[in-house]
Structure 1
Amino acid sequence: MNQQNSCDCAGCVFLTAAVCVEASSRLEVKGHAGGEVSIHCSGNWTASGGSERSSVYFCRGVCSGENVLIRSEGRPSGVTQRGRYSADIDRRAGVFTVTIKNLRSADAGLYHCGAGTAFNVTHQFEISLTVLDGKFNDNWRTVSLTRLSIHSGTSRGGCSLNKED
Structure 2
Amino acid sequence: MSVVILDGSTVRAFVADEAAFARSVDTRFAALDANGDGVLSRAELRRALESFRLLDGDGFGSAEPAPLPAEVAALYDAVFEQFDADHSGAVDRAEFRDEMRRIMLAVAEGLGSQPLQVAVDDEGGSFLLEAAQHEAKAIAAKVDAERKAAAADADAAAAAK
TM class, shorter-length? under 0.3
Instruction: Output the TM-score relative to the length of structure 1.
Output: 0.25
Greater strand share, 1 or 2? 1
Instruction: Output the TM-score relative to the length of structure 2.
Output: 0.26
Which structure has the higher relative contact order (CA within 8 Å, separation 6+)?
Answer: 2
Q: Which protein is bigger by CA-based radius of gyration?
A: 2
Greater helix share, 1 or 2? 2
